[in-house]
Amino acid sequence: MNDVTESELQRPRQAGESNGATRERNEREILEAAERIFAQYGYRGASVQAIAEEAGLPKSNVLYYMGNKRGLYVRLLERMMARWNALLDDISVDDDPAEVLEAFIRSKMQLSRRHPEGSRLFAAEILGGAPFLQDYLRGELREWVRTRARIFEQWAERGLMDPVDPVWLIFLIWSATQHYADFEAQVLGITGRDEITDADVERITRFLTQVILKGCGVRPPGSGA
Amino acid sequence: MNDVTESELQRPRQAGESNGATRERNEREILEAAERIFAQYGYRGASVQAIAEEAGLPKSNVLYYMGNKRGLYVRLLERMMARWNALLDDISVDDDPAEVLEAFIRSKMQLSRRHPEGSRLFAAEILGGAPFLQDYLRGELREWVRTRARIFEQWAERGLMDPVDPVWLIFLIWSATQHYADFEAQVLGITGRDEITDADVERITRFLTQVILKGCGVRPPGSGA
DNA sequence: ATTCAACCTGACCGATTGGTCAACTTGCGA
DNA sequence: TCGCAAGTTGACCAATCGGTCAGGTTGAAT
């Protein structure tokens, strides 16, 4: 139909308002609310009405900004994928395995901690068979895993770590770090706490780093070449 | 109202049928179908209609047997809890840590493999904040974890393993083993396979056993006292 | 003062939701 | 042959679903 970018370039375009500020603010609040609701109930279980109430807006207004439920959901998934893709973006065979693995565990933990709803949204999508993420899993993410796996293998060849299957090692780290966001209710229920503190996250990070590094025969950082 | 057990004892009770066989068969098929649907869509996202179609029965028939959606869901959760409770039911401080940990990892992997839908159902429930499982998590399951954790601690005191936090160790094993059922779509998408075979499960089990045991300083089985 | 795009929203739509109910069939025991 | 509980199911209900739309308000630019 009409190319938005072009028409925006042709004319100043924003009237009836002091900027794109209203849109920006409302969209942000809708996205936040939707992330919570979708994470809690899944795609089908979440209703636009519930998202609207969470955002403190009429349902019509939510649909005005987001078009439809499906588009809103996909937009949230893409936002989360972008956050994930930014992780461990540049590692090389010449890096120190211990440092890289620790950085991976740490940044993954922080991603789950900073965006627990996004993390749960992702988990719910995959739990349901990943109907919207098939292409991403079989494309971008597969490549991401492959390149890292190759580096792990080379480390093993150089004797810097045990010859464990690198893909399953990545899955192990993924699952362990994901757990504290996705199954927060379980962790809290069993430990008897009422929230996970920053100190907890730090302890968990250290625990996972220690066990996983030792478990695949990587010497801890700073123990020389 | 009426005590079913008593009236069943007073009279043969089953008429209009050759046994309780019809009920048994239909209930089994409904439970199977419901497990799949609830696992895929979550409690809210699943519809009784969808469950009925999956079971090949009219919606009315499903409700005739199960009463209502909520009861059906709770029944499935309880069935899965019973399976979980049967796990690692009797361990002692005097057992070999390596053997116990390997048995734990192995039986947990097999539980997830044998009942992938039940496993995903459980995961979806917890992901949504465990609205139906609060009591279980804060009660039975907490005790289960505590008693095992105490044994791990004693092993550490005896120098049979590193002094790692036993609760987080249990969570690590839980999350790693759970992953292959819950995020099967992700594992398949990334590895490029179209199913997880028994051989895969065996390899993953060995990988996890090796890394986790080594990671917390447990000597592999058979290396003597 | 007029214009106009952005913003806002109640009313409404057909479809689907969980659940009820009454009428029906089935088939063994007496 | 008849009684009777178990089993079966289509019709129906109010509530909610995702989505549309017409008719409004707002406010900077002209």
Beta carbons of A176 and B175 less than 8 Å apart = yes
pLDDT value at residue B10:
31
CA of B47 to C1' of C16 (A): 9
Residue B128: per-residue pLDDT: 97
* Chain position carrying tokens 């986790």: B212
d(CA A167, CA A160): 17
* Band of residue B42 on the pLDDT scale cut at 50, 70, 90: very high
By C-alpha distance, the chain A residue nearest B209 is A215
According to CATH, the topology of domain A4-67 is: Arc Repressor Mutant, subunit A (1.10.10)
Rounded CA-CA distance B81/B106 in Å is 18
Q: Is the pLDDT of residue A176 over 50?
A: yes
**Amino acid type, A211:** V
- Rounded to 5°, the CA angle B152-B155-B157 comes to 115
> Of A134, A167, A187, which is closest to B189 when you measure between CB atoms?
A134
Place of tokens 């968990």: A204
Sole residue written with tokens 């375009």: A13
Domain regions of chain B by residue span = 11-67, 80-215
Q: What is the pLDDT at residue A52? A: 98
Task: Provide, as residue numbers in chain B, all residues whose Cβ is less than 8 Å from the Cβ of A142.
Answer: 189-190, 192
Give the angle subtended at the CA of B188 by the CAs of B183 and B194, to the nearest 5°: 135
Residue nearest to nucleotide C6 (CA to C1'): A16
> Which letter does DSSP use for residue B137 in this model?
I
pLDDT digits (tens, 9 = 90+) for B179-192: 988 999 999 999 99
> From CA B22, how far away is CA A58, in angstroms rounded?
49
Q: How far apart are the C-alpha atoms of A46 and A68, rounded to whole Å?
A: 13
Q: Is the pLDDT of residue B56 over 90?
A: yes
Mutation site for B-interface testing, chosen from A49, A80, A161, A168 by largest number of B Cβ within 10 Å: A168
Give the number of A-B residue pairs with CB atoms closer than 8 Å: 182
Choose the CATH number for B11-67 among 3.40.50.1820, 3.40.50.720, 1.10.10.60, 3.40.50.620.
1.10.10.60
Selection from A67, A75, A72 nearest residue A54 by Cα: A72
Assigned superfamily of A80-215 = Tetracycline Repressor, domain 2 (1.10.357.10)
The beta-strand segments (E) located in chain B are none
Quick one: which of B126, B71, B63 has its CA closest to B118? Answer: B126
Half-sphere exposure of A61 (CA within 13 A, CB side): 17
Burial of A15 (0-12, 13-18, 19+ CB in 10 A): exposed
Distance measured from the CA of protein residue A82 to the C1' of nucleotide C18, in angstroms:
39
Locate B120 and state its tokens: 């995903």
Residues of A in contact with B194 (CB under 8 A): none
| CA gap A168, A160 in Å, rounded | 18
pLDDT 10s digits, A114-154? 999 999 999 999 999 999 999 999 999 999 999 999 999 99
Give the pLDDT confidence of A27-74 residue by residue, as tens digits: 999 999 999 999 999 999 999 999 999 999 999 999 999 999 999 999
Asked whether the domain spanning B80-215 has the same topology as the one spanning B11-67, the reply is no
What is the pTM for the complete model shown?
0.91
Taking the CB of residue B70, how many other CB atoms lie within 10 A of it? 11
